[in-house]
C-alpha cells in the first residue's frame, strides 16, 4: 500500500484500518461506533511530527549570542509512542547546550523535542534526534540531552511491577569530553514537578 502523504488521506485510511482491527475483537458493548474515527484522529495527532520538520518549527528562532554561559532547560514534557507496541512513554527531557555565537529561542527547544516525540519512537533514538537537531540548527560547542520516562508497554503488559524509569543520555562536543560538566548537568536535569 502506498504511503499517505496528507493528513486527511491518512485519517481516512487509518479509520478504515481501526474498524478492521475492532471487528476482530469480541467486543460486547456498543459504545465503539465512533471509535475508529476518534482513534484515527488521535493517532494522527500523536504522530504529527511526521508532517513537519525542525527547520519549519525553528523558523526565525535563532539569535546571536555573545556570552560564555550555558543554556539549561529541564522539565520539558515528553509524550511519545513506542514503535514496538504503539503504547505511550511519558516523561521529561532536559536540554543543555553551550552556545557558540548562536542560541535558540527557548520555546524552540520544546518544539524540537515535540517534533520527534510525536512520532513512533524508541527513547534512545528520540534523545539522539533532539541533540542532532540542536547541533544542526546552531552548531553549539556542546549539547547534552537527558530523557527520563516511564514506558506503558512495560508497565501495562506485566513485564514490570512498579514504575521503572528509563533514562537515556546523549552527549556531544564538550559534553562528550568533559565528564565533570556532564555530571553537573545530569544532576541538574532531575526534574521536580511543581504542585
What residue ranges bind Zn ion (CB under 5 A)?
A: 82, 84-85, 153
CB of 125 to Zn ion, least distance (A): 13
CB of 173 to Zn ion, least distance (A): 31
Which three cell numbers mark 110?
520544546
Question: Between 85 and 191, whose beta carbon lies closer to Zn ion?
Answer: 85
DSSP letter (8 states) at residue 30: S
CB-based closest residue to Zn ion: 153
Pairing of strands 102-104, 62-64: antiparallel
Question: Between 101 and 157, whose beta carbon lies closer to Zn ion?
Answer: 157
Q: How far apart are the first and last CA of the chain?
A: 48
Question: Between 21 and 159, whose beta carbon lies closer to Zn ion?
Answer: 159
Q: What is the 3-state secondary structure (H, E, C) of 50-114?
A: HHCCHHHHHCCCEEECCCCCCEEEEEEEEEEEECCCCCEEEEEEEEEEECCCEEECHHHHHHHHH
Q: What are phi and psi of 78, to 5 degrees?
A: -115, 125
Question: Between 96 and 127, whose beta carbon lies closer to Zn ion?
Answer: 127
The candidate with the shortest Cα–Cα distance to 127, out of 55, 175, 56, 181, is: 175
For residues 141 and 174, the answer to whether their CB atoms sit within 8 Å is yes
Q: What's the CA gap between 189 and 195, in Å, rounded?
A: 18
Question: Between 55 and 159, whose beta carbon lies closer to Zn ion?
Answer: 159
CB of 85 to Zn ion, least distance (A): 4
CB of 154 to Zn ion, least distance (A): 7
CB of 31 to Zn ion, least distance (A): 27
Amino acid at each position: 500500500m502506498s504511503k499517505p502523504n496528507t493528513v486527511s488521506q491518512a485519517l481516512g485510511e487509518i479509520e478504515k484500518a481501526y474498524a478492521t482491527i475492532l471487528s476482530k475483537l469480541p467486543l460486547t458493548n456498543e459504545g465503539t461506533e465512533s471509535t475508529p474515527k476518534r482513534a484515527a484522529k488521535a493517532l494522527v495527532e500523536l504522530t504529527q511530527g511526521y508532517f513537519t520538520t525542525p527547520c519549519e518549527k525553528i523558523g526565525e528562532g535563532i539569535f546571536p549570542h555573545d556570552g560564555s554561559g550555558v543554556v539549561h532547560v529541564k522539565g520539558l514534557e515528553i509524550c511519545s509512542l513506542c514503535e514496538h507496541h504503539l503504547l505511550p512513554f511519558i516523561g521529561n527531557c532536559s536540554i543543555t547546550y553551550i552556545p557558540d555565537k548562536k542560541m535558540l529561542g527557548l520555546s524552540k527547544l520544546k518544539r524540537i523535542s515535540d517534533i520527534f516525540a510525536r512520532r513512533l519512537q524508541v527513547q534512545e533514538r528520540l534523545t539522539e534526534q533532539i541533540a542532532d537537531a540542536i547541533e544542526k540548527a546552531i552548531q553549539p560547542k556542546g549539547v547534552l540531552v537527558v530523557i527520563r520516562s516511564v514506558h506503558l508497554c512495560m508497565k501495562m503488559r506485566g513485564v514490570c511491577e512498579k514504575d521503572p524509569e528509563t533514562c537515556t543520555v546523549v552527549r556531544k562536543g564538550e559534553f562528550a569530553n568533559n565528564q565533570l560538566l556532564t555530571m553537573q548537568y545530569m544532576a541538574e536535569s532531575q526534574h521536580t514537578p511543581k504542585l
